[in-house]
Amino acid sequence: MNLGEKILGMFIDLPLTDKERIFFVNREKELRKMENTGRFMHSSIYGIAGETGSGKTTLFNLMEFPDKEIQKISISISEKETKEVIIADLLHKLCDKVLREKRFSDSRHYAKETMDFLEQEEIKSRQRSIKVGKIVEGGSKWSAQAMARYNLSSIKNRLEKLVHLLTSKGKIVLCVDEIDKERQKDVIIILDSLKEILKSKNLLSFIALPQVMYKEYTMDRYRFFKEENLENILKDIIPVEKMKDDDIKEMLNKRTRTFPGVLPLNVKDLLIEFADGNSREALLLCQNAILSKEIGRTYTEKDFILTVGEIKNEMEKFIEAWVDSLKLSAREGQILKIISDKAVLSRAEFLRLVLKKSKIPRSTLNKTIESLLEKKVLLKEKRNSYQIDRKVKLHYKYFFW
pLDDT at 178: 81
pLDDT at 147: 46
The Cα 85–Cα 78 span in angstroms is 10
Write the Ramachandran bin of 216: left for phi over 0, alpha for psi from -120 to 50, otherwise beta. Answer: alpha
pLDDT at 221: 55
pLDDT at 167: 93
What is the side-by-side strand order in the sheet with 71-76? 71-76, 172-177, 203-209, 44-49, 236-239
The neighbour count for residue 74, using CB atoms within 10 Å, is 16
Spell out the residues 6+ positions from residue 327 whose beta carbon is closer than 8 angstroms to its own.
none
- pLDDT-based confidence at residue 135 (cuts at 50, 70, 90): very low
Q: State percent of the chain over pLDDT 70.
A: 86
- Give the helix/strand (H/E) hosting 253: helix 245-255
pLDDT at 368: 92
Is the model more confident about 132 or about 171?
A: 171
pLDDT at 2: 92
The Cα 20–Cα 318 span in angstroms is 28
The Cα 231–Cα 228 span in angstroms is 9
Instruction: Kindly report, residue by residue over 194-216, the tens digit of the pLDDT.
Output: 788 888 889 999 999 887 776 66
State the DSSP string of 65-87. Answer: -S-TT-EEEEEE----SSHHHHH
pLDDT at 305: 97
The Cα 273–Cα 246 span in angstroms is 11
- pLDDT-based confidence at residue 26 (cuts at 50, 70, 90): confident
Question: Above 60 in pLDDT, residue 127?
Answer: no
DSSP H helical ranges for 78-183: 83-100, 108-135, 139-147, 152-167
Give residue 96's Cα distance to chain centre: 24
Over residues 254-262, mean pLDDT: 95
Question: Above 50 in pLDDT, residue 134?
Answer: no
Q: Is the pTM of this model over 0.85?
A: no
- pLDDT-based confidence at residue 130 (cuts at 50, 70, 90): very low
| Distances from the Cα of 184 to the Cα of 85, 292, 380, angstroms | 18, 36, 21
pLDDT at 224: 47
Spell out the residues 6+ positions from residue 84 whose beta carbon is closer than 8 angstroms to its own.
148, 149, 150, 151, 152, 155
285-294 burial code (b ≥16 CB/10 A, e <16): bbbbbbeeee
pLDDT at 53: 83
Q: Using alpha carbons only, what angle is made at residue 76 by residues 93 and 274, rounded to the nearest 5 degrees?
A: 170
Instruction: Kindly report, residue by residue over 261-279, the tens digit of the pLDDT.
Output: 999 999 999 999 999 999 9
The Cα 326–Cα 378 span in angstroms is 12
Over residues 56-61, mean pLDDT: 94
Question: Above 80 in pLDDT, residue 37?
Answer: yes
CB 274 within 8 A of CB 50: no
Instruction: Kindly report, residue by residue over 140-190, the tens digit of the pLDDT.
Output: 333 444 444 567 788 889 999 999 999 998 899 999 998 766 666 777 777
pLDDT at 88: 87
The Cα 337–Cα 331 span in angstroms is 10
From the number of C-beta atoms within 10 Å of its C-beta (0-12, 13-18, 19+), residue 173 rates as buried
Question: Above 70 in pLDDT, residue 219?
Answer: no
From the number of C-beta atoms within 10 Å of its C-beta (0-12, 13-18, 19+), residue 363 rates as exposed
pLDDT at 9: 94
- Give the helix/strand (H/E) hosting 345: strand 345-346
Question: Above 50 in pLDDT, residue 227?
Answer: no
Is the model more confident about 190 or about 117?
A: 117
Instruction: Kindly report, residue by residue over 321-377, the tens digit of the pLDDT.
Output: 999 999 999 999 999 999 988 888 898 999 999 999 998 999 999 999 999 999 989
pLDDT at 196: 82
Rounded mean pLDDT of the chain? 85
The neighbour count for residue 182, using CB atoms within 10 Å, is 16
